[in-house]
Amino acid sequence: MDKIQMFEIGLHSYCNRNCGWCPNSKFERSTYKELDEGIFKKLISDLLLADYNRYIGIGRYSEPMFNNNLLRDRCEYIKKHLNVTIVVNTNGDYLTRRNIEDLRVDHLAIMDYDCIGLDKCINKLKSSDIEIQKISYPFVYGRTKTIESVLYYIDWPKNKLLRSKIDKRFKRIQKCLDPVRYLGVEVNGDVIACCDMRNDNPDCKDYIFGNLYKESILDIIKKSKYLEFVSIMKDGLVLKYPDICKYCEKGPSRYTGDDPGYIYK
Ligand SMILES: C[S@@+](CC[C@H](N)C(=O)[O-])C[C@H]1O[C@@H](n2cnc3c(N)ncnc32)[C@H](O)[C@@H]1O
Ligand code: SF4
Ligand code: SF4
């Protein structure tokens, strides 16, 4: 657990959008299911036992603000028990003054998926009582009383290099440390070691290392199957990587790079 920088939790499964670039366009996320509260609390108590104090992401392939009461409640609980930084990415569809009031998230990133542009994004921030601190296209930086940093990523699809699905013409050269630094939990309790892998993608079935409804996170990270995968990825011999990784174009994310933080590099 000492190498993990980002622990991502899917509190619920639902996303209101179906963006063409997102795996949600291929795998269904229109059914609402929740991670059981008891399982969530056990996970948080295990992370406390492991002295986990880095980033907790809320999301996986859901829209976390869709159920804002759940988000608020679970963030309160995390903040009460762990000394971590909570980060949330949102499509902004549920961004209102009321929804972010008292929300105990540290970094909130809002994606301008519809390319509404700078002026409209600024208006959206202002109408949600977010104090704007700096504008440096394509980013607008702000804050609220409880959120240390709000980042609006303007015109995201125009500015972001989108990853494609597995493309066998692409050959990975760089090693990927995400499995060393990332752990994710899906709403059904499945534990995964990469934010690009999903438990509903058959290509990823061998990379589900355990399930929180049956075993604890502390037991899952001791399993030889998990440790072997992490070790292969860490060694960086791409020829030994599984196919799903050999042809994967993803680089480190904001929180799995050498210098994690909310700034996009
Ligand atoms: C899966 S979303 C979940 C949270 C929220 N619904 C949202 O879209 O912000 C988390 C992040 O994955 C990114 N993402 C999804 N598909 C991508 C792709 N093909 N290439 C690069 N980033 C992608 C999204 O832009 C978002 O920042
Ligand atoms: S809003 Fe986010 S999770 Fe939903 S489909 Fe779009 S990129 Fe995927
Ligand atoms: S190479 Fe791609 S699929 Fe494999 S662990 Fe890294 S990000 Fe995930």
Ligand 3 atom 8, closest CA: 194
Q: CA dihedral in degrees (6, 7, 12, 17; nearest 10)? A: 20
Note whether 82 and 54 are within 8 A (CB): no
The DSSP line for 132-157 is EEEEETTEEEEE-SS-SEEEEETTHH
What pTM does this model have?
A: 0.95
Q: What percent of the chain has pLDDT over 90?
A: 84
* pLDDT single digits (tens) 169-209: 777 889 999 999 999 999 999 999 999 999 999 999 999 99
Ligand 2 atom 3, closest CA: 61
Residue-level pLDDT at 263: 75
Residue-level pLDDT at 164: 63
Q: CA dihedral in degrees (230, 235, 238, 239; nearest 10)? A: -100
Residue-level pLDDT at 165: 61
Burial of 10 (0-12, 13-18, 19+ CB in 10 A): buried
Measured from CB, residues less than 6 Å from any atom of ligand 2 are 15, 17-19, 22, 24, 61, 63, 91
Q: What whole-number distance in Å separates Cα of residue 9 and Cα of residue 162?
A: 23
The DSSP line for 193-205 is S-SS--TTSGGGG
Residue-level pLDDT at 166: 60
* pLDDT single digits (tens) 115-164: 999 999 999 999 999 999 999 999 999 999 999 999 999 999 998 777 66
How many angstroms separate the alpha carbon of residue 196 from the centre of ligand 3? Answer: 7
Q: Given ligand 3 and candidates 6, 183, 197, 199, which is best to mutate, with the most ligand atoms within 8 Å of its CB?
A: 197
For residue 60, give the nearest of 89, 82, 28, 101 by alpha carbon: 89
Q: What percent of the chain has pLDDT over 70?
A: 97
Within 10 angstroms of residue 241's Cβ, the number of other Cβ atoms is 19
Ligand 1 atom 5, closest CA: 90
How many angstroms separate the alpha carbon of residue 13 from the centre of ligand 2? Answer: 11
Which contiguous run of DSSP H or E holds residue 190? strand 190-192
